[in-house]
């Protein structure tokens, strides 16, 4: 999937723990962990909005699009879909 979720990076840059983010957004700690570990199948606009509100950021600070043919480790083109999600 070419959309990366950078919630962990954004959260850490704002100095919040996973527990604080969970408490402030109303999402469970387990859901926060699942999203940050790339195990969530999707993220709703509602969730994205809550994260942006609490983290005082824009959706682009949490989400990043990468073409399927870019290898995350090298940054070079690749025929394999290497990147599923990122934290």
Task: Locate the domains of the chain by residue range.
Answer: 3-65
- pLDDT of the residue at 34: 97
> Does the structure show a pLDDT above 50 at 23?
yes
62 contacts: CB under 8 Å, gap ≥ 6:
5, 6, 7, 10, 48, 51, 52, 55
Confidence check: pLDDT of 82 > 50: no
The larger pLDDT score, comparing residue 23 to residue 41, is at 23
User: So what CATH class is 3-65?
Assistant: mainly alpha
- % the chain with pLDDT above 90: 70
pLDDT of residue 68: 81
> Residue 48's CB: how many other CB atoms inside 10 A?
15
Which residue would you say has higher pLDDT here, 57 or 67? 57
pLDDT at 63 over 80: yes
């Amino acid at each position: 999937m070419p959309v990366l979720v950078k919630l962990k990076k954004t959260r850490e840059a704002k100095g919040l723990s996973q527990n604080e983010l969970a408490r402030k957004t109303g999402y469970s700690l387990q859901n926060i962990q699942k999203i940050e570990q790339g195990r969530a199948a999707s993220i709703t606009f509602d969730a994205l909005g809550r994260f942006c509100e609490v983290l005082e950021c824009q959706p682009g600070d949490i989400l990043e699009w990468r073409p399927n043919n870019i290898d995350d480790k090298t940054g070079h083109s690749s025929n394999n879909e290497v990147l599923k999600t990122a934290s």
